[in-house]
Structure 1
Amino acid sequence: MNNDNVSTRTSSPALLWLVLVVSAAVNAAGPLVGLGLPVRMVAGGVAIGAIALLITHHVRRRRQA
C-alpha cells in the first residue's frame, strides 16, 4: 500500500531557519562584540541566501500541492 501523493518533509527548512537565525544574530551582535566589517558582511550575505532559499522552498512546495 503506497501513497505516492504524500509530500515528504525534509529537514532543509528547519536547517535554513537555524542558519538564518544564527547569521542574523551574528550580524546584529557584531558591533557589540567587536566583530570586523567583513565578518558581518559575510553573515549578512548568508542570511540573505537563507531567506532566498526559504522563499524558493515555499514557492516550490506550494506549486506541488
Structure 2
Amino acid sequence: MELEASRSRQAGGPVVTTLLWLIFIASAATNSIGGFTGLDTMFRMTAGGIAVACLLILIVRFVARRKD
C-alpha cells in the first residue's frame, strides 16, 4: 500500500506542474494581449478557456497534495 501511495505522488510530479504553469501563462498572455493585437475573438476565448482549465487543474493538484 505504501508503494502505491508514493507512486501516486510521483505520477505527474513537478514536470506536469511546471508544464501546466507554462501553458497557463502562455494562454493567459495570449488572451490578454490578443485584444490589443487584433486577434480573432474565438482564438482569444479558446486561449482563455485553456488558461482557466490549467488553473483549475493546478488548484485540484494543490488541494490533493495537501490532503496527503
| TM-score tier after normalising by the smaller chain length | 0.7 to 0.9
**Bigger share in helix:** 2
What amino acid is the match of 1:31?
A: G
In 1: Cα distance, 2:30 partner to 2:14 partner: 26
The 3-state SS of whatever aligns with 1:42 is: helix
TM-score (norm 2): 0.79
Q: CA separation in 2, counterparts of 1:28 and 1:10?
A: 27
Matched, 1:34 2:27: no
* Aligned residues: CA RMSD: 1.8
In the alignment, the residues of structure 1 paired with residue 25 and residue 14 of structure 2 have an alpha-carbon distance, to the nearest angstrom, of 19
TM-score by length of 1: 0.82
Paired residue secondary structure (1:46): helix
Give the ranges of 4+ consecutive aligned residues of structure 1 lying more than 3 Å apart after TM superposition: 4-10
**Mapped partners of 1:10, 1:50: distance in 2:** 15
Which of the residues 45, 49, 64 maps onto 1:60?
64
